[in-house]
Structure 1
């Protein structure tokens, strides 16, 4: 324990609240041990889906404190922080031992960044699982922020990523689509390996991810792969399409934003990787509950009206639907859950499953098949051009310019738009697609060439794509 007298205030080292004050009123962990469930209870079927979701809701919304494991522990100046949340050794603002804000340690729970259901209403409609306003944007790994504009050019240079938080509704349907796309791509990969010299088109659910070919020695040429990683795993979550599942996204978000380390990744239930005196910060059962809760959040919907028909037709005609695919269908109705780090076999090594055609998600089922997921995305990364490129020092030029196609369901309620929230209206967002090198420039130009009447038809159609009205209401006693 370190004691330093500063301005007549005794500043106690990070470990001391856990060690000294745990028995005082209000000083224990915010997440009560009796509210946590185990992986065994889930796997053995001891809990109902709603009981699992309620446990996940608590992980999602509890404002963690240090006795829960919040933060990176006491800073060790002898070890580099490596600009990474995983190091468990990030510095904090003014050495306050709690917050960093730039590069994580920027919130106490998921709800802080995922709480706006509609920004179209005034005041905003708040709810669990929504998106975030600009003030909740994550600032990822910058080492330079030119806030004083040293060049006097009106540009504050920034070499990290700026990420406006997306809403989480409909995640289960998105993940199921991505799992099936990955399954198709893995089969195509095996076909290429079994047929050396044959150029194989990577087509799945009417989306093309380029081509691959193998030689007689089993070497796979992935130089023509487009919009997906070379391992051919579709990762639908994150602005860059870099998380394959809600579980993987949650694991990474917990450690980045809160320093809450999941035992699934950081050494097991007895490990204290960040040396903060707390073990088993996020157990396997906690992470399962969280991922099942997120995957069963309500889905966005469309207001049905004949008024929107012409707008939808024009949306397709001008090329928007080339990337913003209105509907994806699945072969299955049940989303299986698996641990992170499992082999890329999307429907093997699973421990639980949820039928997405039933409450609470109630995706429209297809007779004799799976469900319809009306997300308006192809789950593929595209080059969005020079003007929208990020300036992150840890990404190459291609990575800085590529983003996964934004899902448009709920778009009426989710301003600001684009990956960093720079577009405040739908028209701004559309026109920003037209810049040098952008794959979507033609669609934006086509929109701009329409009459005002036709532009309005498209905008009215987009404004019919709404967020859930009262998400998670079945779990909350209001």
Structure 2
């Protein structure tokens, strides 16, 4: 005997036969199995968004985060790879859904769900990703073409991105100051790079406007701090979201896979155009940006509380806090979308009349965050947003990934005997670049 739900779906499908197609703005009937039933108008997302308006937008983002995408929405990417740069496979996929064409999951919350939506994921939710930054153009299931990754939590992600933006601005300011000083003095100027107490090495500004980057540490050549993913290679929640929707669901955002960049309205060839507009991506960003950060709580059990206190003392005594900083100071809780450092292929400041500004200070959890004596918010993160060398040729057993990421390691490690009296930086010529705007059409990882 047919169940009630099945009968309902069958009757709904029969009722739809012969009905005129719905427009993208008309919305979908309640019985539709499309995850996106009504589009979000990006024109409504301008200016300051705070209080109830921000909460409502974040709730729309939560609905999309928890939505189960289907082929009716355009899920699957038979003729596109998981690469950040829109790339067609060497040969069309034989099936719409398989390891090479995705999706890995129906919903974002399929993996980001522990202990609640937006959290981490269990071992069974591990993702298998390629290096992802150039073409990801492989047509084999061999494990050597994938890195296994655990699912990161997104709690406090908006605060983390704001920290990275302020740090990037600080580093860029130090570079500008060093270049002005070198130009005025007519000689090289070696300047330290640090922000919020985190050291990123040094640069040497030269009178001709170029910069020696040999001594940089833990940051890209452009001095942009990229706080997201295990490798620290994603600039913003928006870039992360656009990437993840294509990679894990086969849902392409117009701002990267649309006609402007690819010349095609249906780049992945699944007969669905305009799968994700800027409004939907903005709502997803708002949801993630407004997630409360993790809280440090004292256990109720007296013995556990004493052990935790003792462990925290040992943690600090061993020097763990030199990198795993319990908190970093943040000047402003105004989260602008699109952000100031997003690159081509992600919506940018120049693409909109004015960015939307999400005032995180109006959220209840933000009012409870501690502040320092300067009034700056102390963001709890146990990190420093700097890349650290975990494995190298001397300790290869700590390296568990087969594919390198986009960034380049600058430090050269050799034995003391081979080095002799020279410093390791002298083993190769310095890296330089000119401090000029570069029109890179590729989305930066």
**Same fold (TM > 0.5):** yes
State the superposition RMSD in angstroms: 3.7
In the alignment, which residue of structure 1 is the partner of 2:74? 69
- Residue 201 of structure 1: SS of its match in structure 2? strand
- Determine the C-alpha separation between the residues in 2 that align with 1:392 and 1:330: 36
1:233 to 224, 234, 243: 224
- Indicate whether 1:312 and 2:315 are aligned: no
In the alignment, which residue of structure 2 is the partner of 1:407? none
In the alignment, which residue of structure 1 is the partner of 2:370? 364
| Per-residue deviation, 1:83 | 6.7
2:151 to 151, 165, 182: 165
| Per-residue deviation, 1:388 | 2.2
In the alignment, which residue of structure 1 is the partner of 2:440? none
- Indicate whether 1:295 and 2:289 are aligned: yes
Change (3 A) 1:32 1:92: farther
Matches within 5 A, 1:329-478: 329-338=329-338, 340-341=342-343, 350-356=355-361, 358-362=363-367, 363-366=369-372, 369-385=375-391, 386-395=396-405
Cα offsets for 1:392-423 (capped at 9, x unmatched): 3454896699xxxxxxxxxxxxxxxxxxxxxx
In the alignment, which residue of structure 1 is the partner of 2:42? 39
Task: Tell me which of the two structures has the higher relative contact order, counting C-alpha pairs closer than 8 angstroms and 6 or more residues apart.
Answer: 2
| Per-residue deviation, 1:295 | 0.8
Q: Structure 1 stretch 62-71 or stretch 102-111: which is displaced more? A: 102-111
| Per-residue deviation, 1:254 | 0.6
1:191 to 177, 198, 211: 177
In the alignment, which residue of structure 2 is the partner of 1:175? 161
- Indicate whether 1:250 and 2:248 are aligned: no
- Residue 388 of structure 2: SS of its match in structure 1? strand
Task: Answer yes or no: is the 8 Å Cα contact 2:86–2:257 preserved in 1.
Answer: no
Task: Answer yes or no: is the 8 Å Cα contact 1:357–1:371 preserved in 2.
Answer: no
1:135 to 94, 102, 124: 124
Unaligned runs of 5+ in 1: 1-18, 76-80, 118-126, 148-156, 402-435, 438-478
- Determine the C-alpha separation between the residues in 1 that align with 2:87 and 2:145: 22
- Determine the C-alpha separation between the residues in 2 that align with 1:397 and 1:249: 16
| Per-residue deviation, 1:310 | 2.9
| Per-residue deviation, 1:327 | 1.1
Cα offsets for 1:174-231 (capped at 9, x unmatched): 1111111111011011112112211111111111011011211111111211111111
- Determine the C-alpha separation between the residues in 1 that align with 2:387 and 2:296: 25
In the alignment, which residue of structure 2 is the partner of 1:447? none
Change (3 A) 1:38 1:343: closer
- Determine the C-alpha separation between the residues in 2 that align with 1:317 and 1:25: 58
Task: Answer yes or no: is the 8 Å Cα contact 2:290–2:360 preserved in 1.
Answer: no
Change (3 A) 1:394 1:177: closer
Task: Answer yes or no: is the 8 Å Cα contact 2:35–2:64 preserved in 1.
Answer: no
Change (3 A) 1:174 1:92: farther
| Per-residue deviation, 1:92 | 11
Matches within 5 A, 1:38-187: 38-43=41-46, 48-73=53-78, 75=79, 84=83, 86-87=85-86, 89=88, 95-100=94-99, 104-117=102-115, 127-141=116-130, 158-187=144-173
Task: Answer yes or no: is the 8 Å Cα contact 1:209–1:228 preserved in 2.
Answer: yes
Change (3 A) 1:93 1:187: same
1:267 to 258, 265, 270: 258
- Determine the C-alpha separation between the residues in 2 that align with 1:335 and 1:199: 33
Task: Answer yes or no: is the 8 Å Cα contact 1:391–1:400 preserved in 2.
Answer: no
- Residue 45 of structure 2: SS of its match in structure 1? helix
| Per-residue deviation, 1:168 | 0.7
Task: Answer yes or no: is the 8 Å Cα contact 2:255–2:277 preserved in 1.
Answer: yes
Cα offsets for 1:311-349 (capped at 9, x unmatched): 22211111211110111111223222225437799xx96
- Determine the C-alpha separation between the residues in 1 that align with 2:101 and 2:269: 20
- Indicate whether 1:324 and 2:324 are aligned: yes
Task: Answer yes or no: is the 8 Å Cα contact 1:333–1:369 preserved in 2.
Answer: no
| Per-residue deviation, 1:368 | 5.1
In the alignment, which residue of structure 1 is the partner of 2:213? 222
Change (3 A) 1:291 1:67: same
> Number of paired residues?
357
In the alignment, which residue of structure 2 is the partner of 1:406? none
